[in-house]
Amino acid sequence: MSTHYSKPVLVRSVQSIQAADLLPANAGRASRVHALINALGLKDSVQIEAARAATDEELCMFHSAEYVRAVCYAGSDESDFGLVHGCSRFVGMASHVRYAAGGTLVAAEALITGRTRTALHWEGGRHHGRRARAAGFCYINDAVLGILRLQQRFSRILYIDLDLHHGDGVQLAFEHSARVTTLSLHHASRGFYPGTGLACVEGRGRGQRRSINVNLQPGARDGTFTGAYSAVGELVVERFAPDAVVLQCGCDGLAGDPHKVFNLTTDAYAECLRVAMAWARPLLVLGGGGYSHSDCARCWARLTAVACGRGSDVPADVPEHEFLGEYGPGFEMAVDAMRVADENSAESVRAIVDAIAGQLG
């Protein structure tokens, strides 16, 4: 097993990008993300490893065989598996599911074998999927599959979820586990999907106090978000001493996202990644939500640069490439915050941190 850690691994392939582009909720997003990564000249700073299609056996590490048949083969009853409304069937669904899962497994395997200390898979991070049900635009829960694969080498794993929406599927999967701690920073309120993640500390049985939630109010700015992340993250790392970390970087909390709930810039996500890298554990980095193609590309391309140690090299302007016209009228790499009130105060964030600290003991 190698002890020499070289460049970060970026998992992608032509097939996996095409499969991700087919997802109706994020149609065409993956192509934009990787086109910008290429335009920034980051290909030479990463090890590119091809995503592969996960097998039925690999999908069944978490999902039921009946569900795998429903999403990968024709003829199953859609309503029994949540394949309705926002998770309706679409052309290429089986390919999307297999490559989203397979890419995350390849990234996890790069960490297990020691080929890298940081592995990136931007088409992953589908965190709402259940064992036998699609949910929240997530037909697969590759984050759970990645954690299960990491457990082949790493005893204790910390999963951190930066998505605007609660990482409910991952928390539910491991709520009884003593080996996996989940930390989700999100917005939760009545009527806001998925309607969970209100309690600061949850978990059941052996997993008691290992499901941790930071519920922030609308308007959260960079300082609010990163302050809560750093304070709670340090508590959790100290308390649970993870051997590896999984960081889901759903960027629907960006100021430019159609949800318009949080008011974050890419600076917040970059700082969260830097903090996670400073913990010096093997790190699996995944994508997730985000419904402005250009802003997702800006964010994940910048995070790729940070992972490579080239965060300071990112230019002010979006470089020339095939999708440049979609970045107008400013054509800037930055995502500007909006002029809206941050409904979180320093006192309210401190209260959350103190509540978590008190319950963790």
Domain of residue 349, CATH code: 3.40.800.20
Residue 361 has what pLDDT?
79
Q: What is the average pLDDT across 53-67?
A: 97
- Beta strand 180-186 pairing with 211-215: parallel
Catalytic residue among 127, 128, 165, 187: 128
- Residue 343 falls inside a structural domain: yes
- Residue 346 falls inside a structural domain: yes
Contacting residues for 60 by C-beta, under 8 A, at least 6 apart: 68
- Residue 328 falls inside a structural domain: yes
Residue from 56, 52, 88 nearest 69 by CA: 56
Contacting residues for 124 by C-beta, under 8 A, at least 6 apart: 100, 103, 104, 107, 142, 143, 146, 286, 287, 288
Yes or no: say if 197 and 168 are a contact pair by the CB < 8 Å rule: yes
173-to-119, 211, 313 alpha-carbon distances in Å? 22, 11, 39
Residue from 116, 117, 112, 146 nearest 129 by CA: 146
In this model, does residue 301 exceed pLDDT 80? yes
- Residue 4 falls inside a structural domain: no
Domains held by the chain: number: 1
Residue from 152, 339, 131, 350 nearest 235 by CA: 350
- Count Cα atoms within 13 angstroms, Cβ side, for 203: 22
pLDDT band (50, 70, 90) for residue 17: very high
- Residue 2 falls inside a structural domain: no
- For 334-355, the pLDDT digits (tens) are 999 999 999 999 999 999 999 9
Residue type, 307: A
CA–CA dist 252, 256 (Å, integer): 8
Q: What is the average pLDDT across 273-296?
A: 98
Residue 6 has what pLDDT?
78
Residue 263 has what pLDDT?
98
Handedness of CA 221, 222, 223, 225 (dihedral sign): positive
Q: What is the pTM of this model?
A: 0.97
- Residue 97 falls inside a structural domain: yes
Residue 347, phi then psi, degrees to nearest 5: -70, -40
pLDDT band (50, 70, 90) for residue 77: low
- Residue 3 falls inside a structural domain: no
CA–CA dist 338, 295 (Å, integer): 14
- For 218-274, the pLDDT digits (tens) are 999 999 999 999 999 999 999 999 999 999 999 999 999 999 999 999 999 999 999
pLDDT band (50, 70, 90) for residue 3: very low
Its domain, for residue 105, covers 9-360
Give yes or no for a cis peptide into 329 (omega within 30° of 0).
Answer: yes
Contacting residues for 44 by C-beta, under 8 A, at least 6 apart: none
- For 18-40, the pLDDT digits (tens) are 999 999 999 999 999 999 999 99
- Residue 1 falls inside a structural domain: no
Q: What is the average pLDDT across 186-213?
A: 96
In this model, does residue 56 exceed pLDDT 80? yes
Mean pLDDT of the chain: 96
Decide if 128 is catalytic: yes
pLDDT band (50, 70, 90) for residue 74: confident
Contacting residues for 154 by C-beta, under 8 A, at least 6 apart: 112, 242, 243, 244, 282
Residue 177 has what pLDDT?
98
Q: What is the average pLDDT across 167-175?
A: 98
- Residue 354 tokens, joined: 């103190």
